[in-house]
Homo-oligomer: A and B are copies of this chain.
């Protein structure tokens, strides 16, 4: 149908950033823009867009931020949310994942899934007749986070192309990093730099995807050197449990912390992003800086997810 041809979003699953073209992203961001900017009168009109629709959230791994921003997005569009999460522990001993998915599929219009296992969202999309949105699975994919990250860059820097990107922290297990890198293959980024402890560098699988799409990245272990030319610094947590040697961990933690001194060494219009929650890698003393973009980034989760839900459910 026309709508479908036009936007490619209606009724589709969202499994990986790699499933989307630049044009699809741009269509999404145009819609997000409207939701972000809406006047009060329009906010009220929008509260009717998804009236009667049911969004199922199924979080087999906790994620306050992602779950609540999807819930808020649904609410602002007039949709209702049914939430499986509280039962997850009892499911553990109970029914099969595929029977659980079939149940959600028959009770809702769209399923938002978070799962610890690689490939869970793709598997779910094969079971479910309704669209499945991957809200994070395994260690590589979290496409809606990548979408709100790109939208943040567009809003705050005006463009995605030609900027220098720096990724700092745990690049191995962070699905937000790999998802954003995958999404960037649809654009023409400037220099992409990776700064991480050696043991927490990009996975070979992730790297080979980037190579396939002709995107080159370079490694730079010295954070003082790497921050200088960045337009966008994307920081992630070092997770204690990833580094078996605790003496080593304490040392590493310090070296991947974005201090005020480092922030001063960045370009005047550089922005600092972080998927949150944060621990010590991003001191609260940075929050007042105009370079600190992470709180605005989190806030963009709502309009981007509003756009996503309404495009997929065919009303935007």
Task: Mark A residues whose CB is within 8 Å of B.
Answer: 43-44, 46-48, 51-52, 54, 56, 62, 64-65, 68-69, 71-72, 74-76, 78, 80, 82, 84-87, 90-91, 94-96, 98-100, 102-104, 106-108, 276-279, 284, 295, 298-299, 301-302
Contacts and interface: CB of A to CB of B under 8 A. Distances in A.
A54, A90, A106, A108, most chain B CB atoms within 10 A: A106
Contact of A68 (B74, B84, B94, B299): B84
Contacts of A44: 51-52
B106 A295 contact: yes
This protein's copies in its complex = 3
Contact of A298 (B75, B94, B106): B106
Given A80-B75, A284-B98, A106 B299 contact: yes
Nearest to A42: B52
A99 B69 CA distance: 15
Contacts of A72: 54, 82, 107-108
Given A54-B76, A86-B86, 10 more contacts: A44-B52, A64-B90, A68-B104, A68-B107, A71-B80, A71-B82, A75-B80, A95-B279, A103-B276, A106-B295
Counting from the closest, the 5 A-B pairs by CB-CB distance are: A47-B52, A75-B80, A95-B277, A106-B299, A72-B107
13 contacts: A48-B51, A52-B78, A54-B75, A68-B82, A68-B103, A68-B107, A71-B82, A75-B82, A95-B276, A95-B278, A95-B279, A99-B278, A106-B302
Contacts of A76: 52, 54, 80
